[in-house]
């Protein structure tokens, strides 16, 4: 009999964020008892002599900790933005564009010379 590779933990939802040399995965999974939890995975591509490998770090976040986690994350990011780097325009780093669930955001490849609008690949 073939074993289920997910060990009974079905993936319900997934979002991917590319950030330079890193990629972050936000995955909602279910347990055998139909409970839900979130995994946050940081993946970095590492080159080796015979090719490459992915170095991964994973955080498991359970529903009873969602609010505490979000509060700490928001407080920490706001502290950096308002107290440590108040003169930085963080909107300049926004590359979010409308995209479908689970798909990567499309990034502009070049500006059009005539009207300044962005062209897409």
Q: Give the per-residue pLDDT at 58.
A: 97
Instruction: Give pLDDT tens digits for 35-54.
Output: 999 999 999 988 888 888 99
Residue 85: Cβ within 10 Å count: 11
The pTM assigned to this predicted structure is 0.65
Q: Give residues with Cβ within 8 angstroms of 46, minimum separation 6.
A: 52, 53, 54, 55
Top CATH class of 7-87 equals alpha beta
Instruction: Give pLDDT tens digits for 64-97.
Output: 999 999 999 999 999 999 999 999 999 998 865 4
- In this model, does residue 103 exceed pLDDT 90? no
| Distance from C-alpha of 6 to C-alpha of 13, rounded to nearest angstrom | 14
Q: Give the per-residue pLDDT at 48.
A: 85
pLDDT band at 106 (very low <50, low <70, confident <90, very high): very low
Least confident of 7-11, 72-76, 101-105: 101-105
**What DSSP state is assigned to residue 5?**
T
State both tokens at 57. 């770090």
- In this model, does residue 9 exceed pLDDT 70? no
- In this model, does residue 28 exceed pLDDT 50? yes
Domain locations in the chain as residue ranges: 7-87
């Amino acid at each position: 009999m073939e074993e289920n590779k997910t060990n009974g933990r079905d993936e319900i939802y997934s979002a991917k964020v590319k950030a330079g040399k890193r990629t972050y995965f936000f995955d909602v999974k279910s347990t055998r008892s139909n409970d839900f939890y979130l995994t946050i995975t940081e993946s970095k591509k590492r080159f080796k002599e015979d090719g490459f490998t992915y170095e991964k770090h994973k955080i498991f976040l359970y529903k009873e900790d969602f609010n505490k986690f979000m509060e700490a994350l928001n407080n920490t990011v706001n502290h950096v933005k308002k107290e440590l780097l108040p003169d930085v325009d963080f909107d300049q780093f926004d590359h979010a564009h409308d995209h479908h669930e689970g798909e990567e955001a499309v990034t502009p490849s070049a500006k059009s010379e005539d009207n300044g609008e962005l062209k897409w690949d």
